[in-house]
A and B are shown apart, each in its own frame.
Chain A
Amino acid sequence: MTTASSSTPGWSKVQIPRPLQRLFDLFPLRAYEPNDLPERSQHLTFSSLPTLFIFTTDEDARLGLPSFNPTCLRWQTLLRLTGLEFRVLPSTNHASPTGALPFLLPARSSSTGSSSSSSGALPPSTSPSQPPPPSSSPSPPTPIPASKLLAYAQSHANPAKSSHPATSGDRLFPSRARAYVALVSNHLRSAWLCALYLDPARAGLLDALYLRPASSSAAVRAALRRQLRKAAGEQILDSAPAAGALRSRPGERERERERAEQGKGAPSWDWAWQEDGTAIDPRAVYASAREAMAALASLLAESKTEWFFDAEAPSEFDAAVFSYTHLMMQYMSDGEEEAGALGKMVQSAGDGELARHREKLWRFAWPEGNGEAKEGR
């Protein structure tokens, strides 16, 4: 049965007779000003600045502090390096056009709706100048997914502010870097996922970062926690050959359990069992992360500048490494390295090159010094 909404396309294809069309053109007899958009929309989607939606807290967002999600932090760092003026707001993957954060929403403009003006004459961030009157823009801006962020930033950033045209020449990564990208995107990432999502000892951290902002309900958080853990386990296993995580064979689970029951001093969290019966060995994951960090540290030691690959200014690769080393040091510095104290692992890699690199890039991207997040979260 056709409802009015679904019948629309069918009718619009029919050629409307001329007299009827003339009648239709008379209506409506009167059109008032548009309705104002709701308060949440006014507050969250109207700004004179483009808005980067990332995983963060309300408070950190207001101060522009680093995101606690590595992918978001990587893009946030890069955008800051380009000199683009933007604000950040907390969001969820559901909001993103790609299904994953981050994404950027250009400021609404009253005239055309698409902010394609490449003049770069964005108002300074300090002025709270009111954006154009809401709801009058016929077409709201389309969101920019992460993959197109740099192109957008380069056409919109204030060149004066971008003293470090870091990303101008490089496409995605310098060709030499590509070989090392897997170290970050597989080994460091797997270790981060394993420590944050699968280690029961960090359930509190996972709750604080991802679950409490989603809902105040314990039942909803429990359902989300299960989904997150499952997804994290799958992603680790996907990169398992590279990251050294082990799949188990049937029967191994029982043997593991027996060994644990015999009290052979096995730590409480030895294997992270997935629903399909495979398991992840955290020790293997952490060991391969340590190797990766050592390789990155020596790579950094070889560089003539303070950044990777002899670059004059931090590149995307620097941002990618930073996004993990920074968060590992900030959130995972307690405990033993074998038990997933990834922060300590970063510090002890090589001669501490990675820790110094993280410090430097942090100061560089957050020169105003407000990148200092509160400790002991």
Chain B
Amino acid sequence: MASFWPGGSPAAGVADAPANRGPTQMLDEHRLTPASISKLEVHGAPNTRRALLDHVLGPLVADSAAPGTTLGQVLDRIGDATRKLSRFDIFKEEGFNVFLSEAPRPEGAPPADRTDLEVAINVKEKSRLVFTAGTDFGNAEGSAYTNAIARNIFGGAETLSINASTGTRTRSAYNATFSTPVNNNPGLRLSLEALRSATQKPWASHEERLTGGNVRLAWLTAARDTHTLSYASVWRQLTGLSATASPTVRADAGDSLKSAVTHTFVRDRRDNPMLPQSGYLFRAVSELAGWGPLQGDVSFAKTELEAQSNLPLPLRGASLGAGFRFGLLYPLPTGYSLTGPAQPSRINDRFQLGGPTDVRGFKLGGLGPHDGADAVGGDVFAAGSVSALLPLPRTGPDSPLRLQLFANAGRLVALSTKPSAKAKGKAGKAEGQDRDGLALDSAAVFKSVKSAVGELGNGLPSLAAGVGLVYAHPAARFELNFSLPLVLRRGEEGRKGLQVGVGISFL
């Protein structure tokens, strides 16, 4: 009888345990011997539906029945299957145990040409009902939350999660998410979410209240990339303006419904997302709002790309990283037309740029168009950063602490039909101001998007550089940087001196 740990790396738990060495060596020697599974049992899953287990373990038995299957292949497949089971998130990670034994042969049977195995998989189910409360760090925000999770509700790894939180910026947030694997496949999940929140946006002197819901389908490809396709319908209310709110924010106050489909693709090949030393990340988000059958009050196509690459340096623990982000919002007409009049973007749909987790050395929303003190956002942005992470002499390369040298830059530009400074002389003044409504025709939209993209490369980007400390906690990354803005546009808010950043995703 052999026991091994399929969940972790091959070395874990097996190689270092002297008691297991004999059987393991025995298995290694016999990896090429023909084998099949005659019986498979799962223990410790009283609350889990049979169909769920069948879907994962059924193919295992069926595949092993094929002639020519070796013991090694059987073991690999058992490992894959248990990894799949663990992805349902209903079994305890440390609870997996697999026992193999040779099936007893009936009296007087002819000697078999292969080993018939009996497999017993022991699992431990996680608690079905969990209440937690605690504090959380998101990007540039701290919050306290209470959370209730009901796991494996109908025995098919369905999860209901109800969450309430309040934070430094989120005045209140409630959401309930029901999530279930589709077709008993742990790599394909469908979730439904209802949410209600009120978030302060101090960089633009207002509060945004959201009420809405979304449906989300997420799947994992064979190459470990994740895709998410979601539809969201959200009522946004821009309210609670401060006394000093700018005219731009006042003009955008009020209600709007966003109805949008979004596709997100993430390929994360970094060795450690909080302190990457090697590998790369690619993320692409595409959103279509309001067009065609989607309806709603806002209509646009929006895309956001992120790429990050890290290169280890010859010195252990030292690495060089580069990141790039790009985003574009293209106003669309409502309905099925492609050439009809399109409404220019609102502040809650536009991008914000700047802050300790993206372009460091600028205040939160410090880049891009400002109306007085308000960061009013832009429709096109590009940002890039280069940084070197160096181990500190005292703590060494194995600690989560690094010295960081960085330079980052960005441009955030808004669509505008106003003739640019260069063209002002000949273009005349009345253009844009004299048209009937707020809406732009498709030619004007295209022209203004083109000129905004062109504006990205006009002059040096707004730029800051600095030096600081990075501490990578498993839950979040902390940065303390000293930086100085080198180039900016007037109105943009640079930050001279120290800046603290807490977040899970950095440029």
Contact = CB atoms under 8 A, between A and B. Distances in A.
B251 A134 contact: no
Nearest to A40: B344
Contacts of A217: 235, 257, 259, 295-297
B485 to A, nearest CB: 5
B255 interface: yes
Contacts of B486: 27-30
A10 B247 CA distance: 29
B107 interface: no
B397 to A, nearest CB: 27
A125 interface: no
B460 interface: yes
Nearest to A32: B489
Nearest to B368: A35
B345 A38 contact: yes
A94 interface: yes
Given A31-B488, A38-B344, A92-B253, A62 B436 contact: yes
Contacts of B440: 39
Contacts, number: 236
A128 B251 contact: no
Would you call the interface of chain B mostly helix, strand, loop, or mixed? loop
Interface in B403-460: 412-418, 421, 429-430, 432-434, 436-438, 440, 448, 459-460
Contacts of A129: 429
Contact of B202 (A5, A46, A140): A5
B364 interface: yes
Interface stretch (B5-13, B183-191, B373-381): B373-381
Interface in A1-20: 1-8, 11, 16, 20
B313 to A, nearest CB: 28
A179 interface: no
Contact of B363 (A4, A33, A58): A4
Interface string A304-343: 0000000000000000000000000000000000000000
A19 to B, nearest CB: 13
Nearest to B331: A39
Nearest to A38: B414
B497 A3 contact: no
B489 A31 contact: yes
Nearest to B235: A220
A5 B364 contact: yes
Given A34-B370, A140-B372, A216-B257, A41 B248 contact: yes
A142 interface: yes
Nearest to A47: B433
B65 to A, nearest CB: 54
B198 interface: no
5 contacts: A5-B203, A38-B350, A62-B436, A105-B247, A216-B296
Given A62-B436, A94-B238, 17 more contacts: A3-B356, A3-B364, A3-B500, A24-B484, A30-B488, A34-B370, A36-B413, A37-B376, A37-B414, A39-B415, A41-B247, A41-B251, A41-B414, A42-B432, A215-B256, A216-B295, A217-B295
Interface of A: 1-8, 11, 16, 20, 23-24, 27-46, 53, 58, 62, 89, 91-92, 94-97, 105, 108, 128-130, 134-143, 214-217, 219-220, 223-224
